[in-house]
Amino acid sequence: MPENPSSDLLSQAAPDRNTQPRQGLLDESEEDAGEALHSTGILPSQELERQVRLTREIFALEPIREDQFQPASLDLRLGPVAYRVRASFLPGKGATVEQRLDDLAMHKMDISNGGVLERGCVYIVPLLEGLSLRRRTSAMGNPKSSTGRLDIFTRLITDYGTEFDRVREQYKGPLYAEVSPRTFSVLVRKGSRLSQIRIRRGNPPSTDEAMRRLQEEQQVVGSTISEDEIRNGVPVSVDVRGEASDGLIGYKARNHAGLIDIDKVQHYDVLDYWEPVHAPRRGGLILDPADFYILASREPVKVPPTHAAEMIAYDTLVGEFRVHYAGFFDPGFGHPDAGGEGSRAVLEVRSYEVPFVLEHGQVVGRLTYERLTAQPNRLYGSGVKSSYQRQGIALSRHFKPRQRASVTP
């Protein structure tokens, strides 16, 4: 069924390595300017630019735009077609994504100028970007914050892949997004950005001891946490009292709401799509498995300029619910150096199978911190257009702003 949509993309990759750099590529002095402090870690923005413009480990069918570069990640863009498939899948070690689409695709849709992805359906979209990674270099994908806050389940897939959102070392090939809107049908088009990618060099250490030290020195999660509570990440708890926001603790998505154009900003009225959720008069908040909620962490959260963070999305040890779809936190998020002191983590919450009670201060997730190879030349909220710095209970950027809730913890 597919007509080899990745062949043009692959032709953009590594064979041109011996050609002279074109206008706009980094010269040798620029290459040396951002010398890494560590040989392993997450690559910062300037290293990502180098991979695009010099080494061509990241390439694309269309020129990569300056605003795709984030402090420690790169925004990925949808290509011109989408495939409706019968079910989610991984290609496995013996197949490409295209080969699996031959069996599973139901319909091919041109989205060059816009196409609707219906809630409850699964789509595979070839991306404009591809990778030609070098030795000791791997990657990981994640939905963008605005994607997660719309309950759009989005995962990265690679040829011969055996895991979602993980790109193996030295991968050379196209990238695909699996997209499944859960609550709202969405209008997308070529160039729309639903996901992002981080590049990792080597296998940097990320130990409980390192995170305990980071919490002690930086107070990355703004509450009193004992050392033995920090394991597989720094714990984050939920606010169901709303004492800093007049009792407002979040929003619940309305069922059967209208279509959302993924590229429109501050366009939709909040109450057409969301019901405000206020603190229960007693006890905790009961999550209904049929509903999707936007809540906030009790504590302010920050990410030092030297690190990137990720929220563990689903941990059955704390309950049968998922608290985060878009797990990347950029360097500078919530950090005073980037004007973000007091930012809270927004939690995209869905219970599974049975109703579940969230109590105030209950641990609902863990933030894992990983060092960068060097401090980025741009921080979240400072030098990068940032929708959620100093956020309290924040819906996605598609909605008109309501009166800002206080972010005082």
pLDDT digits 0-9 by tens, 331-373: 998 888 777 677 899 999 988 888 999 999 998 888 999 999 9
Backbone angles phi, psi at 349, to 5 degrees: -115, 130
Fold of 7-201: Deoxyuridine 5'-Triphosphate Nucleotidohydrolase; Chain A (2.70.40)
Which of the pair, 249 or 4, is modelled with greater confidence?
A: 249
Domain residues of the chain, as ranges?
A: 7-201, 208-384
pLDDT at 401 (0 to 100) = 87
Q: Residues of 120-139 as b/e, b for ≥16 C-beta within 10 angstroms?
A: ebbbbbbbbbbbbbeeebbb
pLDDT at 72 (0 to 100) = 96
Q: Are 135 and 171 in contact (CB under 8 A)?
A: no
What residue has token string 């077609």? 81
pLDDT at 204 (0 to 100) = 80
Q: Which of 270, 222, 266, 220 is nearest to 250 (CA)?
A: 270
Q: Which of 357, 360, 324 is nearest to 237 (CA)?
A: 360
Report the alpha-carbon distance of residue 391 to residue 326 in Å, rounded.
Answer: 15
Q: Which of 30-34, 168-172, 245-249, 251-255 has the lowest mean pLDDT?
A: 30-34
On average, the pLDDT of the chain sits at 86
CATH topology match: 7-201 vs 208-384 = yes
Q: Which of 79, 37, 280, 66 is nearest to 189 (CA)?
A: 79
Report the alpha-carbon distance of residue 374 to residue 395 in Å, rounded.
Answer: 31
Dihedral angle computed from the Cα positions of residues 280, 223, 297 and 359, in that order, rounded to the nearest 10 degrees: -30
pLDDT in tens, 258-316: 999 999 999 999 999 999 999 999 989 999 998 999 999 999 999 999 999 998 865 65
Q: Are 390 and 243 in contact (CB under 8 A)?
A: no
pLDDT in tens, 44-78: 999 999 999 999 999 999 999 999 999 999 999 99
- Total-model pTM: 0.88
Q: Check whether 21 has a pLDDT greater than 60.
A: no
Q: Are 222 and 409 in contact (CB under 8 A)?
A: yes
Q: Which two tokens stand for residue 324?
A: 């985060």
Report the alpha-carbon distance of residue 409 to residue 388 in Å, rounded.
Answer: 16
Fold of 208-384: Deoxyuridine 5'-Triphosphate Nucleotidohydrolase; Chain A (2.70.40)
pLDDT in tens, 115-145: 999 999 999 999 999 999 999 999 999 999 9
